[in-house]
């Protein structure tokens, strides 16, 4: 399950102590977490000593996490609910995938009896697992939430459609899927990704008018390791704006790095899973997705071990 590297380290340590509470001194970890970040809904469960591994203890914690909270009753403190949910999600990274997916289905099913709570659960799950505020990205876990919410007859149609559209985008760009789409070049002509010259790998850099990508583009255009890959022909970088073609855009884009292919398409954000901007995809020589939704920092770390 993919992890986004922005997780608060002190919070992670305290949650691990909660999971690994095998001694009396570690039993205070729960209270330490509450003192560090107050506002949770309840005390978190502690796994029994019979759970001897980190995975088994985290499995126990997420399985019993909501035992003392009735999610069918009205949620009065939205902030505390979100903070508690985010802590719940943080245990996922150390738990078995089958346990995680089963717990997600069970939680959504219990929330079905309260439409307002079900909507809040969906919103919090999106922020914690999928959106730009997520500390832990996992398509597999978020899809489990989104699939249940898209199918829920309790939710308004526009809300169901929102999750259905997200599912379509996520499913269309799974790792391993071959990517191809049309875009407009600087010259105003239409091109397809499949028409690009052969390369060992392709880096797609998506930028958006609403987000200043200047610094990200500058860092990539001046990175020695990346440029070595581009100049040797081992990789090709394609910078794509999610805007409609215009003469003004073409004039500005002409100043991008000379060893980049540049284009745009105002339907790209709707069709592809672009969560952050700038957003990077890495494809192999057959245009199969190796990695997606990378930040500029994530891409630079991937191509430059010393970054």
User: Is residue 84 a contact partner of residue 68, using CB atoms and an 8 Å limit?
Assistant: no
Using DSSP's 3-state secondary structure scheme, residue 282 falls into: strand
Give residue 32's pLDDT: 44
User: Is residue 207 a contact partner of residue 278, using CB atoms and an 8 Å limit?
Assistant: yes
What percent of the chain is modeled with pLDDT above 70?
87
**pLDDT over 70 (residue 24):** no
Rounded Cα–Cα distance for residues 172 and 82 (Å): 29
Give residue 287's pLDDT: 95
Rounded Cα–Cα distance for residues 240 and 206 (Å): 5
pLDDT tens profile 214-252? 888 888 999 888 999 999 989 999 999 999 999 999 999
Give residue 273's pLDDT: 87
Using DSSP's 3-state secondary structure scheme, residue 28 falls into: helix
pLDDT tens profile 61-119? 999 999 989 999 999 999 999 999 999 998 998 899 999 999 999 999 999 999 999 99
Neighbours of 244 (CB within 10 A): 12
* E strand or H helix that includes residue 203: strand 201-207
Q: Cα angle at 289 between 241 and 146, to 5 degrees?
A: 85
Please tell me what DSSP assigns to residue 186: T
* Contacts of 51 by beta carbon, 8 Å cutoff, 6+ apart: 57, 59, 60
Neighbours of 254 (CB within 10 A): 11
Mean pLDDT of the residues in the chain = 85
Give per-residue burial for 62-81: e unless 16+ CB within 10 Å, then b: bbebbeeeebeeebeeeeeb
Taking residues 252-266, report their average pLDDT. Answer: 94
Please tell me what DSSP assigns to residue 73: S
**pLDDT over 70 (residue 52):** yes
pLDDT category, 305, cuts 50, 70, 90?
low
User: Is residue 295 a contact partner of residue 278, using CB atoms and an 8 Å limit?
Assistant: yes
């Amino acid at each position: 399950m993919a992890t986004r590297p922005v997780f608060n380290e002190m919070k992670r340590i305290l949650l691990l102590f909660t999971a690994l509470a095998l001694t009396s001194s570690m039993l205070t970890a729960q209270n330490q977490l509450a003192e560090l970040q107050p506002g949770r809904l309840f005390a978190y469960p502690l796994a029994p000593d019979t759970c001897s591994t980190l995975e088994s203890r985290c499995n126990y914690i997420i399985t019993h996490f909501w035992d003392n909270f009735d999610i069918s009753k009205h949620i009065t403190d939205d902030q505390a609910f979100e903070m508690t949910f985010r802590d719940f999600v943080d245990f996922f990274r150390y738990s078995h995938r089958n346990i995680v997916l089963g717990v997600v289905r069970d939680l959504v099913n219990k929330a079905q009896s309260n439409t307002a709570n079900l909507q809040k659960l969906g919103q919090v799950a999106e922020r914690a697992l999928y959106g730009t505020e997520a500390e832990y990205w996992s398509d597999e876990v978020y899809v489990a939430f989104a699939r249940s919410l898209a199918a829920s007859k309790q939710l308004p149609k526009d809300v169901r459609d929102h999750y259905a559209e997200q599912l379509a985008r996520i499913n269309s760009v799974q790792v391993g899927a071959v990517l191809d789409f049309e875009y407009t070049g600087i010259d105003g002509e239409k091109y397809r990704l499949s028409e690009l010259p052969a390369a060992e790998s392709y880096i797609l850099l998506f930028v958006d008018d609403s987000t200043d990508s200047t610094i990200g583009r500058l860092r990539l255009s001046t990175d020695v390791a990346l440029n070595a890959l581009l100049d040797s022909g081992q990789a090709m970088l394609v910078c794509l704006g999610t805007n409609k073609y215009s003469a003004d855009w073409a004039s500005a884009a002409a100043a991008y790095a000379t060893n980049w292919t540049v284009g745009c398409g105002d339907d790209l954000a709707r069709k592809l899973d672009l969560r952050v901007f700038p957003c990077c995809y890495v494809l192999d020589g057959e245009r199969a997705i190796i990695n997606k939704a990378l930040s500029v920092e994530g891409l630079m770390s991937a191509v430059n071990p010393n970054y």
